[in-house]
Amino acid sequence: RNMAPEGSSTAGQRRQEYISYRRTPQSVSELKEKKFSNKERKAFKRKWREDKLITQMKKDKKLRLDRETIAREKEEELMKQNRCGRPYTLAIALPGSILDNAQSAELRAYLAGQVARAAAIFNVDEIVIFDESNRARKTSSEFSGLKKSGQGNTQLFHILQYLECPQYLRKMFFPYHQDLKYAGLLNPLDIPHHLRETDVCEYREGITLKKPTSSKRTGSYANIGLKKDVLLDMDVKPGQRVTVRLNEQTTDKKNLTGVVVSPNEPRELAGIYWGYTVRLASCLSEVFTQSPHDNGYDLTIGTSERGHHLDEEISKFNHAMIVFGGLKGLEACVEADSSISSDDPCDLFQYYLNVCPGQGSRSIRTEEAILIALTALTPKLRAVHFQDENNTSR
């Protein structure tokens, strides 16, 4: 009699399971149906408030990160706008025969080092070495002996290239060569891309390596003078010199990545002097006809003691070329070049200047003329662009 029917016990069990399943409210509307105790209501409200707070914190964090990203991008854009980039290039040309006047191999190397130092001090972007005798039609990079014609051109070419290259890359690009026998005794250029391992810079010079990458990554590795090799954004043939813009400034990360850029980008965007290139020309006319720029040099200046004073203002330009003569002056270089129809150097240049009027010595050496000319002309060249930018901003 005390035993309940089978059907009633099953129904009670089902009702008990149903109630226990429904003891946790699923929404606020369900909580208002008054099917739960105060304890259950408080537990639900507490959990609801916690979930709401967590959701709000996630939203606030996302908004904060977005604001920081936007602020950082604006700051980087403002830094790029405020960077004092240099839009023009400056090139000089001189004959390699100036080394023939040196009395010993050590003095020949030291004279080449003086030319390199002068170019670095005044931010020269290109050095052209031409043969003033117009005899070396085929300039060779091999050492051809001290007494052979044209050897001064190649030796000056090798030493200038060696001094411009960062120290940590020289062993890979310059094997032992007779022309570089005394290059280690020369004064270093200490230009911005000659970076030490501890120096911090957005750009670095490097050499691509024959180093395999993982299957998940594409690109080549390069040695940029740090303890770790950098992974580039593209595949480059091993043994090539590249200019790399690093994606991160800290070297503590496990993997360093960088982007291969033009060697002109540090100068154009950041205003950083990034060294010079060296080019050989078999005669004076090839200085202009083999220009690396599409439209050539739009400002040409010749220097001589028979030149004129620079009284007028220089017009705006993109690529300037300043040419220096050898022991016999530019007049002898023009006469020796059969491809130049005129014998007057004034017809070859836009400006034919005497940068040192009233000189006390009968002659000015070429390495001295480079310093004098660049000291006098560099402020005028810079004023053409930077005064124009100031007037535009006003």
Give which of 219, 216, 218, 189 is closest to 206, Cα–Cα: 219
Is 315 exposed, middle or buried, given 0-12, 13-18 or 19+ CB atoms closer than 10 A?
Answer: exposed
Q: Which residue has the tokens 């606030």?
A: 60
Q: How far is CA 68 from CA 71, 72, 249, 250, 360, in A?
A: 5, 6, 19, 20, 64
Read off the pLDDT of residues 111-141 as tens digits, 9 standing for 90 and up.
999 999 999 999 999 999 999 876 654 444 4
Report, as an integer, the average pLDDT of 333-358. Answer: 86
**Does 309 score more than 90 pLDDT?**
no
Q: How far is CA 138 from CA 100, 151, 153, 369, in A?
A: 19, 12, 11, 28
Tokens (6 digits) for 165: 């290259």
pLDDT for position 10: 53
Report, as an integer, the average pLDDT of 155-162. Answer: 94
Q: Find the distance separating the first CA and the last CA of the chain, reported in whole Å.
A: 107
Distance CA 356, CA 304 (A): 9
- Residue 31: which pLDDT band, with cuts at 50, 70 and 90? low
Report, as an integer, the average pLDDT of 175-181. Answer: 88
Give which of 342, 353, 371 is closest to 306, Cα–Cα: 353
**Does 17 score more than 50 pLDDT?**
no
Give which of 166, 172, 239, 171 is closest to 203, Cα–Cα: 166
Q: How far is CA 37 from the centre of its chain?
A: 72
Single pTM value for the model: 0.74
Distance CA 178, CA 163 (A): 15
- Residue 16: which pLDDT band, with cuts at 50, 70 and 90? very low
Calculate the average pLDDT of the chain.
82
Report, as an integer, the average pLDDT of 226-235. Answer: 89
Select, from the ranges 31-35, 51-55, 240-244, the one with the highest average predicted confidence (pLDDT): 240-244
pLDDT for position 41: 73
- Residue 35: which pLDDT band, with cuts at 50, 70 and 90? low
Read off the pLDDT of residues 258-301 as tens digits, 9 standing for 90 and up.
999 999 989 988 889 999 999 999 889 999 999 999 999 999 99
pLDDT for position 89: 94
Do residues 369 and 354 make contact, with C-beta atoms less than 8 angstroms apart? no
**Does 6 score more than 60 pLDDT?**
no
- Residue 143: which pLDDT band, with cuts at 50, 70 and 90? very low
Query: Phi and psi dihedrals of 306, rounded to 5?
Result: -95, 10
Q: Which run of H or of E encompasses 342?
A: none
- Residue 358: which pLDDT band, with cuts at 50, 70 and 90? confident
Distance CA 290, CA 292 (A): 6
- Residue 320: which pLDDT band, with cuts at 50, 70 and 90? very high
pLDDT for position 22: 45
Q: Which of 33-37, 143-147, 297-301, 322-326 has the lowest mean pLDDT?
A: 143-147
**Length of the chain as a residue count:** 394
Report, as an integer, the average pLDDT of 227-253. Answer: 86
Q: How far is CA 42 from CA 21, 30, 47, 50, in A?
A: 18, 14, 9, 12
Distance CA 127, CA 44 (A): 80
Tokens (6 digits) for 27: 């929404």
Looking from the CA of 73 toward its CB, the CA atoms found within 13 Å total: 6
Dihedral of CA atoms 78, 81, 84, 87 in degrees, nearest 10, equals: 160
Read off the pLDDT of residues 52-98 as tens digits, 9 standing for 90 and up.
899 999 999 999 999 988 887 887 666 655 666 888 999 999 999 89
Measured at the alpha carbon of residue 324, what is the angle toward residues 286 and 134, in degrees to the nearest 5? 40
Give which of 140, 150, 136 is closest to 97, Cα–Cα: 150
Tokens (6 digits) for 161: 């290239």
DSSP notation for 144-183: --TTSTTHHHHHHHHHHHHHHS-GGGHHHH----GGGTTG
